[in-house]
Structures are given as C-alpha cells and as structure tokens.
C-alpha cells in the first residue's frame, strides 16, 4: 500500500428531484460535500445507516450518476471530463462487485460468457477467442473455481460461488479499484469468511484497492485498513480501523459501535449501549448546523448554528466532523 492517493473525492454533492416534502423542498440531498481518499492497495471501509448515501456514492464513483458539485480525481484525472475513447479506457480502472450474487449475474449466460462480457466493449484487450478463453481459465483459477465451471450457468452454483464469478468479472479488465457494495451480506457466515479471505488474497496478489461498503461492522473491522463513517450524506469520521474501533471521536461513531453485536463476553460486559433519541432526519430537510445534533447527547447551541468541519485532525490520520469530539481517553457513554 502506498501513501499517495489513487482516488481523491472532494466536496462531492448529489441531489435528486422528488415530490415536495412537508417543508416544500423537492430536492433530496443524497450526498452533501463528501471528502475521502483511497490509496493503492488499500481497503477503505465505508459504514453508516441505511439511506445515508453509501450506494449513491458508489454509483457516482462508477459514473452512473453525475455529481451536482465537487471533484473526483483518479490518478490525478477527472473521469467526468473524459469523452469517448478516453472514458472507455478509464472505465477499465474502476469496477464493481454487487450485493446480490443471485440478481447480478445473467442466468442466460455461462460463466465464461459472463466473465468475458466486458471484452465485447473493450475489444482491444484480446485479439482471438483462444486468448479470451485462456484468460477466463486464469480468472476462474484466481477466484478458486475450476476450469470446467466455465461452461456452467449461474443457477448451478451456490451463492458464494456466484460471488466469486462476480469478482472474476470485476477483475477481467484489470481494475485498479473495485467498489464492493455489501458483497457478503447475502451469504451465510461461513461463506462470508471464504469470500473475504479471497478478497484479501487478491489484494495482496494484484495490489487492487477496495472501497468496501457494509453495514456489518465486524466485517469492516476484519477487512479494512481505514474506515470512513457516513451520516446523512456526509463523512463524519475517518481514521485507521484500529483507531476508529478503539477510540471513536465522533458521537455517531460511538453510538454505531455500541450497537454492534459481539461474540466475546468481555466485550459485551464492558460495552455500554448508547440509545440515540429521535429518528434519522430526512435528507429533504436536514438539521441546521451539525446534522447529527438532533440525536446527539453532547449537542450545544454552537452545533445548531455552525456546521462542523474535519479540517483539523483530532489525531494523526484521524478526523472527526464534530465541534465537541469525544475525549480520547474517556468513554463517551454517560
């Protein structure tokens, strides 16, 4: 893993037109000034409640949505400024593994056809069908499947095997960044571990970077080098995984971690669960100032008046978008 960012996102905002809400607003702000970085060979875990904007961010980074504001830089290049052949070449660099391995594979295509499908668009990668067939066999071996599986259909595989096919397809174009959108949430626990171990092995072998989106904090803790915590369209805390889990500085992160189940008795006994008051605010009408203030036990008048920023790290490599970050040495639970 290198220190220089491969992917840089600054001030990214995206809104959607919806029917007017009670306040008369008809713009739903799914992303509102998102900042994040991803380094080569790194796994960045992205966590947050349902509806906070994680999937919208993934779709925007895949160029399936165009942002209203902000910049995206991949290796210093703005993909939204590219056209035609340049854009086509760029798309090879970022691919996606989807949440549902049952819905994301075409049941009418064989495994070989699914993996080779991107090459019908990127025709310059292989000159002959023999080269394509050889590369399919290489990719199947890479993800732990047999050469004979190339002629089988998705419905002949288990969920874990289907997800391996999805991973092979994402790597077929030599992607440098793979966006994993809840890639193991539809799988049994034992199969989850196998797929996660496969992703780790592929990262070591290929130096690929992952943006790993998940609501399962135990999974993120296992796979991520760094974690970004998202709340109502904004990144509210980022830091190394160990630092985030052992020393959360944003109240929302603390509450999120307190709600995560634990298998260890000592962890369960020492954990003080934080029950947040109120409901998640609507992105149609977010609170003034700090978006988390309506549910935060530390909120003050300042939180209602002024939006916080994360410009000043609370510790090296650790930022929290909070006017009153939690004390590093004292539990935030009162």
DSSP code of residue 276: -
What pTM did the predictor assign? Answer: 0.92
Rounded to whole angstroms, the Cα distance separating 191 from 189 reads: 5
The CATH H-level superfamily of 7-250 is P-loop containing nucleotide triphosphate hydrolases (3.40.50.300)
DSSP code of residue 297: T
Q: How many CA atoms lie within 13 A of 239 on its CB side?
A: 22
Residue pair 135/172 in contact (Cβ under 8 Å)? The answer is yes
Q: What's the pLDDT at 114?
A: 97
21 φ/ψ angles, rounded to the nearest 5 degrees: -85, -175
Which pairing describes strands 5-17 and 27-39: parallel, antiparallel, or unpaired? Answer: antiparallel
Rounded to whole angstroms, the Cα distance separating 217 from 328 reads: 20
Residue pair 324/245 in contact (Cβ under 8 Å)? The answer is no
Q: What's the pLDDT at 4?
A: 76
One digit per residue, the tens of pLDDT, for the chain of length 334 reads 666 799 999 999 999 998 887 777 889 999 999 999 999 999 999 999 888 999 999 999 999 999 999 999 999 999 999 999 999 999 999 999 999 999 999 999 999 999 999 999 998 888 789 999 999 999 999 999 999 999 999 999 999 999 999 999 999 999 999 999 999 998 998 899 999 999 999 999 999 999 999 989 999 999 999 999 999 999 999 999 999 999 999 999 999 999 876 655 555 555 677 878 877 888 888 999 999 999 999 999 999 999 998 877 888 899 999 999 998 654 434 3
Helices assigned H by DSSP within the chain: 54-61, 84-91, 111-116, 129-142, 159-171, 189-206, 217-223, 241-246, 251-258, 265-270, 301-305
């Amino acid at each position: 893993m290198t220190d220089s960012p491969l992917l840089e996102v600054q001030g990214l905002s995206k809104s959607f037109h919806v029917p007017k809400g009670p306040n008369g607003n008809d713009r739903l702000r799914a992303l509102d000034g998102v900042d994040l970085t991803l380094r080569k060979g790194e796994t960045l875990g992205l966590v947050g409640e349902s509806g906070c904007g994680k999937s919208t961010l993934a779709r925007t980074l895949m160029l399936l949505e165009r942002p209203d504001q902000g910049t995206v830089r991949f290796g210093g290049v703005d993909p939204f400024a590219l056209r035609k052949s340049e854009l086509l070449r760029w798309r090879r660099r970022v691919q996606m593994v989807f949440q549902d391995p049952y819905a994301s594979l075409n049941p009418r295509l064989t495994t070989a056809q699914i993996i080779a499908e991107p090459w019908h668009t990127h025709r310059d990668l292989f000159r002959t069908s023999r080269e394509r067939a050889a590369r399919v066999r290489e990719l199947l071996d890479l993800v732990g499947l047999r050469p004979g599986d190339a002629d089988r259909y998705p419905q002949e595989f288990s969920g874990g095997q289907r997800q391996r096919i999805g991973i092979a397809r994402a790597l077929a174009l030599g992607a440098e960044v793979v966006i994993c959108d809840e890639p193991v949430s539809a799988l049994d626990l034992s199969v989850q571990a196998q797929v996660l171990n496969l992703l780790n092995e592929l990262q070591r072998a290929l130096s690929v970077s992952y943006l790993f989106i998940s609501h399962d904090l135990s999974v993120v803790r296992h796979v991520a080098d760094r974690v970004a915590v998202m709340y109502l369209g904004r990144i509210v805390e980022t830091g190394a995984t160990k630092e985030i889990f052992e020393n959360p500085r944003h109240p929302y992160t603390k509450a999120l971690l307190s709600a995560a189940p634990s298998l260890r008795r000592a962890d369960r006994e020492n954990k003080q669960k934080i029950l947040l008051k109120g409901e998640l605010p609507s992105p149609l009408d977010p609170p003034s100032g700090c978006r988390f203030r309506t549910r935060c036990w530390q909120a003050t008048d300042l939180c209602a008046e002024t939006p916080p920023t994360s410009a000043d790290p609370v510790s090296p490599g650790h930022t929290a978008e909070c006017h009153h970050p939690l004390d590093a040495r004292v539990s935030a639970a009162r």
